[in-house]
Structure 1
Amino acid sequence: MSEPSDEQAAMQHYLVCGTEDCQKNGQFYCNACHRPLCEQCKDKHQKSPNTQNHEIVLYRHRKHQLPVELCQDHPTRNKELFCRECSIPLCSKCSIMKEHKGHDIDDLEEIYTGKYAVWQGEFSKIQKYFLPTTNDLKSDIEEDVTEIKKIMKSFRASIKAEAESLKNLVDEVTSESIENTHTMEKSLLKMLKSQETTYDDYITYLWKMSDEFQEYLSITNKKLLFTKTLKIQPIPETTKPVPPEFIAGRFSKNDITKLLGKVSVPNRKPEKRKIQPMEAESAHMKSTEKQLEQSKEKSDMKQTLSLSSSVTKVREYSVPGVDCAYHVSVDKSGRLWVSDSKGNLVQTDLQGNLLQKMQTSGGFEGYHTATRDGDLIYTDQNKKVIYRITQDRKITEFIKTGDWKPISIHSSRINGDILVGMYKDEETKVTRYNKAGKEIQHIQRDNQGKELYKYPHYITENINGDICTSDINNEKVVVVNKSGQHRFSYTGQGSRFCPYGICTDAIGHILVCDGISNTVHLLDQDGGFLSVILSSQQGIKSSRGVCVDDENNLHVGQFLTNTVTVYKYLQ
């Protein structure tokens, strides 16, 4: 029996065992038969004389089946062997032909499996090292672009300021020089006016003397005989003015450049950007990898954990102090935090008894989360702050988010990191903080530069480190890997999809509420639809908040009632 297609899987509640007439969960896989097996059929398979030597592994560790390729020389046979001497694939009949006699013949599927492992390793390197490292380098470039623009802007401002200062000095000197010419001109004209007056007086004197001599020269004038000889005063001496000289300024463009200063490129060799070697990844990523491996080991220890054939209600209770249950968080002590659309946030025990209540600015978002230490952290959009409530009920300011308004929040069960969905104006992003509150990552765009989110109002993390967000404005669930690379988006099963509360379980399932159909959808780790796990048939009329506790119970809150219902869906 072949593996079910995506369309077939979408119609099933889980992956069906490949044994004929068996409808149980096929959580194991026979690499020899290439088919999924349930636990019971696996035991029979290993006990059967015909199949007891077959390799059986967990389904997610399966070998991928060799692609079918027919032999050109023997069209009824598949190419399943590989000739190392000729480096070509063969069918079983080709392998015994004389041209391949004595050659080393290998199982093509083993080679394909080895190649697949190599490709998977290379793919892992791309996802875990090359893409994050290159994105870090790209971020460095973006920071350099911002810094260069900032520096050049300051240079332009300095040049304009220097030019303005020089222009002011030029205007001042020009004004003083022009005023000096007026003063000099006034002084010289005054001197010349004085000389002109001197000559005017002398001319008057000469006319007077002329008249007197004319009188003396008259024949009838006897005085000439008795008058002493008259002498004419000499012409007064005056000096010519010494005109000022204008010495033109001697300057060039270079002189102005020296005065203003200039921008130049330093004569030094640019530094190469530091590329983090693959063997020396950041301590945080190493820590995350280690935690993920531990998580995988725990998952392997729970290899008997699988989907039940039906969903069972465990208990149900009303939560005092809230009108509805938009979001649910379960802390390690088994106590429950529930919030409604009016900002009421309450803590109850598992019997529904009120332990504490507070008023927040939250609404229909997943704005609170329990940490691995048993504390609760929640967002305040208005104040742009994330608060922490310790087990002794002390509230402290934990993280300030600057200009960004925090919407949704999740505390990682893998490493304690804090994932926050936030927005500012028309921008949205997911930011990762470490457990001390230091920002270490932000996720905003895919590889094509397109915005990933519009309003990530619920957020969670899967066992493989994937970050899963419900984006109500995008009408989809957006999933990126731990490096921030987009993996897939889930858009529901109908024409409209309105995702609300989202969570994951111990074996990597994704559970998300649909506000259109008021159901809870169950997805596999890669976004494949498995089933509508909860609907009106299980008494769910308006699912909004979902959370899986440490005992693998699913807690569901609704917006039409303050009731939280607990279900068992894993066995």
Structure 2
Amino acid sequence: MSEASHEQSAMQHYLVCGTEDCQKNGQFYCNACHRPLCEHCRDEHVKNPDTKFHEIVLYRHRKQQLPVEKCKLHPTRNVDIFCKECKIPLCSKCSTMEEHQGHTFDDLEDIYAEKYAVQQAEFSKIQKYFLPTTQGLKIDIEEDATQVRKIMESIRTSMKAAAKSLKNLVDEVTSENLEHTHKMEKSLLEMLKSQETIYDDYIAYLGKMSDEFQQFLSLTNQNLLFLETLNIKTIPETNIPILPVFTGGKFSKEDLSKLLGRVNVPNTEPEKRKIQPMDAVTTHMKSTEKQLKQSKEKSDMKQTLSLSSFVTKVMEYTVPGIDMVYHVSADKSGRLWVSDNEGNLVQTDLQGNQVQKIKTSGGNQGYHTATQDGDLIYTNKGKKVIYRITPDKKITEFIKTGVWTPLSVHSSRINGDILVGMIIGKKAKVTRYSKAGKEIHNIKKNNQGQGLYGYPRYITENINGDICTSDGIKEAVVVVNKSGRHRFSYTSQRSRVRLWGICTDVLGHILVCDDIESVHLLDQDGGFLSVILSSQQGIIGLCVDDENNLYVGQALTTTVTVYKYLQ
């Protein structure tokens, strides 16, 4: 089998024409026949006298088919008429019965289609307004809870600091008071010691006087009569010391609370959370749709663009300066940025010639992306920084991710926002930054509070704003809407198959490659459509440019192949 034949056989249609023996893409729909039609069969349908008045629309604008319900009175007939007077559904035979003579009837299928459209519109409100808005309020609550924890921890720190300060003052005053008691004690003891010395001296004086009296009394002659009488000094007077008295401080728990401060909640009415009105969301959606329309006009995309019947190889070239191809980014000039798992990041021209080469922390992730302005953004896992390269080859630091390690990055084609897949330990998240690098919000958990991501290896954004991530640990494509609400996860139909590079196209298709060398094509809601490409050289990196070309990087070689799969 030739290479072209192999590529054609690898293509499977996600919506086959309903005409017998026709296998082309059924992008149109006949509301009368209720079957999809390809472009050729649509033209034949219009030419056929029996069907030329049938209503044919684009498939996405098709009328919903009325569910089959048998008439209870006429079991061989289907209920497909609505009696406006009796307000009941009927079959065609019931409408001819006497009780319905002169009544007017409506096509039940038209009523069903109308009701279906109304309910679909209401369901759309749930998906586009009520759920995202409520999810946003939950995020606000989580942020408020984080703020509460921070504030309370700050208050506790301040309370401990105040208590420590008071304790230090208490220790200081107590130390001074104790030192004062030691001084008082020393002074009193010195005074008593002085008094003791006075009495010691007086006792010595009395001893001396006693000796003198003994000498006088020992005289035996009359000379004693002529001696003066000895006078004894009075006993010295001393003061009894006044002993100190301790007067304890008088304070209460209330006094201590006043010293240490209190925690109070202000006596004010709580502020109502702001719920964004539906008309504001509608206005934003219209603005986004306008951006999408402008983007489509710039790329000269026709409204009838659809899947081709087969995949066509446009170009193939070998990229110099790398060991293998793990990721591909196409910039506005048509040049490519290609990376391997050794940190080599190479820019090539349209012929595959090297323009510049940069050494990065690299790895087997989608760690670079081209922006709307023609710059390239890439992550540095080691430094936890995201860099920007301008067309004049100037490299600047763009975003710091703190403690989180950035793995994958994507620049939105809708509004220029930057989506970054990051990990820390066993935790993972996707963070949205503005075009200027300001953090907007983080996506971590699903509606049940469980972690959405394990290892967000590749990341991209679909035309409806969905964030699509190829997760290396979950082994799945994890898709959330713009507000971060989990929509679905896609895993390969084959067991134990890991998914790698991922991208989306202008029709909302999700393209993802697996490690058994195949490219899966999914619809916007995660439905498997087909395997559009297989390779014996391994497919890891994927990218779709503004001209709807699919770039495929091969892991086992340094080859990038360009394909056309839309027409």
Distance of 1:235 and 1:334 partners within structure 2: 122
CA shift digits 1:25-77 (9 cap, x unpaired): 11111223221111122223333344333322211222222333444555444
Change (3 A) 1:262 1:203: same
Change (3 A) 1:552 1:193: closer
Contact 2:135/2:485 (8 A) holds in 1: no
Distance of 2:307 and 2:133 partners within structure 1: 38
Secondary structure, in 3 states, of the residue corresponding to 1:448?
A: coil
Shift of 1:134: 2.6
Tell me how large the CA RMSD over aligned residues is.
3.8
Specify the alignment match of 2:355 in structure 1: 355
Shift of 1:139: 2.6
Shift of 1:358: 2.7
TM-score when scaled to structure 1? 0.84
Distance of 1:186 and 1:334 partners within structure 2: 96
CA shift digits 1:279-300 (9 cap, x unpaired): 2349976643432355688999
Which deviates the most, 155-164 or 26-35? 155-164
Distance of 1:346 and 1:39 partners within structure 2: 42
Specify the alignment match of 2:480 in structure 1: 480
Out of 541, 544, 549, which is 1:548 matched to? 544
Shift of 1:491: 1.0
CA shift digits 1:382-438 (9 cap, x unpaired): 232333333333333333333332222222222232222222232222222333333
Distance of 1:298 and 1:102 partners within structure 2: 57
Shift of 1:216: 12
Answering whether residue 417 of structure 2 is matched by residue 392 of structure 1, we say no
Gaps spanning 5+ residues in structure 1: where?
A: 1-9
Contact 2:136/2:483 (8 A) holds in 1: no
Shift of 1:246: 3.2
Distance of 1:193 and 1:520 partners within structure 2: 106
Shift of 1:442: 2.6
Out of 556, 559, 566, which is 1:560 matched to? 556
Specify the alignment match of 1:523 in structure 2: 522
Following superposition of structure 1 onto structure 2, how do residues 225-374 of structure 1 map, counting pairs within 5 Å?
A: 240-281=240-281, 287-292=287-292, 294=294, 302-374=302-374
Contact 1:128/1:483 (8 A) holds in 2: no
Specify the alignment match of 1:461 in structure 2: 461
Distance of 2:298 and 2:68 partners within structure 1: 36
Contact 1:412/1:461 (8 A) holds in 2: yes
Specify the alignment match of 2:440 in structure 1: 440
Change (3 A) 1:252 1:412: closer
Distance of 2:382 and 2:485 partners within structure 1: 30
Secondary structure, in 3 states, of the residue corresponding to 1:258?
A: helix
Distance of 2:207 and 2:397 partners within structure 1: 109
Answering whether residue 551 of structure 2 is matched by residue 532 of structure 1, we say no
Shift of 1:444: 2.1
Distance of 2:488 and 2:280 partners within structure 1: 29
Secondary structure, in 3 states, of the residue corresponding to 1:430?
A: strand
Query: Which letter does structure 2 place at the counterpart of 1:496?
Result: R
Following superposition of structure 1 onto structure 2, how do residues 404-415 of structure 1 map, counting pairs within 5 Å?
A: 404-415=404-415
Query: Which letter does structure 1 place at the counterpart of 2:418?
Result: I
Shift of 1:190: 5.5
CA shift digits 1:104-132 (9 cap, x unpaired): 75444333333333333333333333333
Out of 546, 566, 569, which is 2:565 matched to? 569
Contact 1:341/1:363 (8 A) holds in 2: yes
Contact 2:478/2:490 (8 A) holds in 1: yes
Specify the alignment match of 2:158 in structure 1: 158
Shift of 1:144: 2.3
Distance of 2:251 and 2:479 partners within structure 1: 67
Secondary structure, in 3 states, of the residue corresponding to 1:57?
A: strand
Shift of 1:15: 1.0
Which deviates the most, 56-65 or 86-95? 86-95
Distance of 1:390 and 1:229 partners within structure 2: 125
Contact 2:11/2:310 (8 A) holds in 1: no
Query: Which letter does structure 2 place at the counterpart of 1:480?
Result: V
Specify the alignment match of 1:66 in structure 2: 66
Which deviates the most, 479-488 or 68-77? 68-77
Change (3 A) 1:287 1:404: farther
Distance of 2:360 and 2:193 partners within structure 1: 93
Secondary structure, in 3 states, of the residue corresponding to 2:431?
A: strand
Specify the alignment match of 1:512 in structure 2: 512
Specify the alignment match of 1:6 in structure 2: none
Distance of 1:389 and 1:215 partners within structure 2: 123
Distance of 1:196 and 1:288 partners within structure 2: 103
Answering whether residue 20 of structure 2 is matched by residue 24 of structure 1, we say no
Answering whether residue 111 of structure 2 is matched by residue 111 of structure 1, we say yes
Following superposition of structure 1 onto structure 2, how do residues 39-188 of structure 1 map, counting pairs within 5 Å?
A: 39-82=39-82, 89-92=89-92, 105-188=105-188
Distance of 1:396 and 1:193 partners within structure 2: 84
Specify the alignment match of 1:7 in structure 2: none
Contact 1:464/1:508 (8 A) holds in 2: yes
Distance of 2:302 and 2:126 partners within structure 1: 30
Distance of 1:475 and 1:422 partners within structure 2: 16
Contact 1:320/1:354 (8 A) holds in 2: yes
Contact 2:519/2:534 (8 A) holds in 1: yes
Distance of 1:430 and 1:345 partners within structure 2: 23
Change (3 A) 1:289 1:176: same
Change (3 A) 1:95 1:181: farther
Distance of 2:371 and 2:189 partners within structure 1: 96
CA shift digits 1:202-259 (9 cap, x unpaired): 8999999999999999xx9999998999998777666554443333322111111122
Contact 2:322/2:339 (8 A) holds in 1: yes
Distance of 2:91 and 2:341 partners within structure 1: 66
Query: Which letter does structure 2 place at the counterpart of 1:353?
Result: N
Secondary structure, in 3 states, of the residue corresponding to 1:420?
A: strand
Gaps spanning 5+ residues in structure 2: where?
A: 1-9
Secondary structure, in 3 states, of the residue corresponding to 1:46?
A: helix
Distance of 2:539 and 2:254 partners within structure 1: 76
Contact 1:216/1:223 (8 A) holds in 2: no
Change (3 A) 1:175 1:337: closer
Distance of 1:214 and 1:304 partners within structure 2: 149
Change (3 A) 1:440 1:102: farther
Change (3 A) 1:247 1:285: farther
Distance of 1:272 and 1:367 partners within structure 2: 41
Change (3 A) 1:323 1:197: closer
Specify the alignment match of 1:428 in structure 2: 428
Secondary structure, in 3 states, of the residue corresponding to 2:432?
A: strand
CA shift digits 1:68-97 (9 cap, x unpaired): 344455544444345667665554555666
Change (3 A) 1:300 1:86: farther
